[in-house]
């Protein structure tokens, strides 16, 4: 067992959890604000990876050096745009319709993005290798190896999460987001245009998913149009595990998922894929509201 539960695996798990966290936050924020499980969210992550892929390859082909920060900004922007478009075109018309309609629509948006990207001639359904945006370096400390990719993944994710926490806790927009998630009608009576708050939520969620897409591209450099499905489901599971609608919950749930998945994979690769769901089922049996979620009574 010592082989499996070691520090190296813990680091790998935190690295994976950081990527899940960025995706998971979008799920949880959108759910918190509009009570929609946005199944297309994993595909926003895919869009981010492809945007980075094209930007970097374009630059390489012309022998221009572009700053990594620019690649991040542009790809996050691309994902945010897709997220906002999905909201405006697909979800907004269904806002006051039964919730199931929007849920089915989200599945539709997800499939549309996957198949549309596969159908585009310059993307296609097959795997592509993600260019080396950052040169890999391995640092060895004792018998532990840390790649600079792990550092980038954890750091980018941490910076974005600190930014989000600040935004939600300390700014006026964040205050409005909390108010809208608590009571939409009351928020509207304060003069808040809730549609613009919802748009901002999709923007942030989309941008975070885009960032996760680039990080995944850098770390596991194979991208394809269906790459968002499994991480999307796992990030959603992480959000539910932490308590859907709860931002710290999504972060916690994601790290638990990443770490347990890494440890389980080291034991048996098939177990790795399933462990997350096993944990979810066990947690939900004892805490249906998730780890940090609050018990909410349906209002009559």
Partner 1 sequence: MLKVSNLEVSYGAIKAIKDISFEVKDGQIATLIGANGAGKTTTLRTISGLNRVSSGHIFFKDTNITNMEPHRIVNLGISHVPEGRRIFATLTVMENLELAAWTIKDKNVKSERYDLVFSIFPRLKERFKQLAGTLSGGEQQMLSVARALMTGGSLMLLDEPSMGLSPILVDEIFDVIQKINKQGTTILLVEQNARKALEVADYAYVLEVGTIALQGSARELKEDQRVKEAYLGA
From residue 95 to residue 114, the character string flagging contacts with partner 1 as x (rule: CB under 8 A) and all else as - is --------------------
How far is residue 268's CA from residue 220's CA, in Å, rounded to a whole number?
19
Name the minimum Å distance from CB 96 to partner 1.
9
Nearest approach, Cβ of residue 188 and partner 1 (Å): 4
CA distance 40 to 44: 7
**CA-wise closest residue to 287 among 255, 259, 252:** 252
Residues 178-197 that bind partner 1 (CB under 8 A): 178-179, 182-183, 185-194
Q: Token digits for 161?
A: 């999460």
Nearest of 201, 202, 199, 207 to residue 79 by alpha carbon: 207
CB of 187 to partner 1, least distance (A): 7
By CB under 8 A, is residue 171 in contact with partner 1?
no
Min CB(173)–partner 1 separation in Å: 10
Q: Does residue 298 bind partner 1 (CB under 8 A)?
A: no
Q: Is 85 in the site for partner 1 (CB under 8 A)?
A: no
Q: Which secondary structure element, helix H or strand E, spans residue 116, and what is its range?
A: helix 99-119
Q: Where are the alpha helices (DSSP H) in 127-171?
A: 148-170
Q: Which C-beta is closer to partner 1: that of 62 or that of 299?
A: 299
Question: For partner 1, what does the binding mask look like between residues 6 and 45, x meaning CB under 8 A?
Answer: ----------------------------------------
Residue closer to partner 1 by CB (options 63, 172) is: 172
| Shortest distance (Å) from residue 88 CB to partner 1 | 16
CA distance 188 to 195: 10
Instruction: In angstroms, give the least distance from the CB of 196 to partner 1.
Output: 9
Could you tell me which stretch among 55-63, 111-119, 174-182, 226-234 binds partner 1 (CB under 8 A)?
174-182
**93 scored as a contact of partner 1 (CB under 8 A):** no
C-alpha distance from residue 136 to each of 33, 153, 220 (Å)? 39, 13, 12
Query: CA 256 → CA 72, 183, 264, distances in Å?
Result: 26, 31, 12
The smaller minimum CB distance to partner 1, of residues 63 and 299, is found at 299
Of 194 and 203, the one with the shorter C-beta distance to partner 1 is 194
The answer to whether residues 46 and 206 touch, using CB atoms and an 8 Å cutoff, is: no
172 binds partner 1 (CB under 8 A): yes
Q: Which of residues 190-229 bind partner 1 (CB under 8 A)?
A: 190-194
Burial 269-280 (b: 16+ CB within 10 A, else e): eeebeebbeebb
Single out the residue of 97, 76, 87 nearest to residue 29, CA to CA. 87
User: How many residues belong to the site for partner 1 (CB under 8 A)?
Assistant: 17
Q: How far is the CB of 27 from partner 1 (least distance, A)?
A: 21
Gyration radius from the chain CA atoms: 19
Nearest to 74 by CA among 207, 220, 212, 203: 207
Q: Is 168 in the site for partner 1 (CB under 8 A)?
A: no
Binding site for partner 1 (CB under 8 A): 172, 175-176, 178-179, 182-183, 185-194
């Amino acid at each position: 067992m010592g082989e499996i539960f070691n520090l190296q695996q813990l680091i790998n798990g935190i690295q994976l959890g950081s990527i899940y966290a960025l995706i998971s936050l979008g799920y949880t924020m959108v759910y918190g604000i509009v009570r929609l499980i946005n199944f297309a969210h994993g595909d926003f992550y895919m869009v981010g990876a492809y945007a980075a892929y094209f930007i970097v390859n374009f630059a390489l082909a012309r022998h221009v050096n572009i700053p990594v920060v620019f690649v991040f900004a542009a790809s996050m922007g691309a994902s945010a745009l897709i997220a906002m478009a999905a909201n405006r075109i697909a979800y907004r018309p269904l806002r006051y319709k039964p919730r199931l309609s929007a849920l089915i629509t989200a599945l539709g948006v997800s499939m549309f993005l996957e198949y549309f990207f596969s159908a585009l001639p310059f993307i296609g359904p097959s795997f592509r290798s993600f260019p080396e945006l950052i040169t890999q370096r391995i640092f060895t400390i004792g018998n532990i190896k840390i790649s600079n990719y792990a550092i980038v993944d954890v750091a980018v994710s941490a910076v974005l999460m600190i930014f989000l926490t600040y935004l939600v806790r300390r700014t006026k927009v964040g205050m409005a987001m909390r108010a809208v998630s608590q009571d939409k009608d009351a928020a509207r009576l304060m003069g808040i245009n809730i549609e613009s708050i919802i748009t901002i939520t999709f923007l942030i969620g989309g941008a975070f998913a885009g960032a996760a897409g680039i990080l995944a591209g850098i770390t596991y450099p194979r991208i394809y149009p269906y790459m968002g499905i499994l991480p999307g489901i796992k990030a959603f599971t992480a959000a539910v595990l932490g308590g859907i609608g709860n931002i710290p919950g999504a972060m916690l749930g994601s790290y638990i998922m990443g770490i347990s998945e890494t440890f389980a994979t080291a034991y048996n690769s098939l177990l790795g894929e399933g462990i997350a769901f096993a944990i979810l089922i066990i947690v939900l049996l004892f805490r249906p509201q998730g780890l940090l979620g609050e018990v909410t009574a349906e209002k009559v």
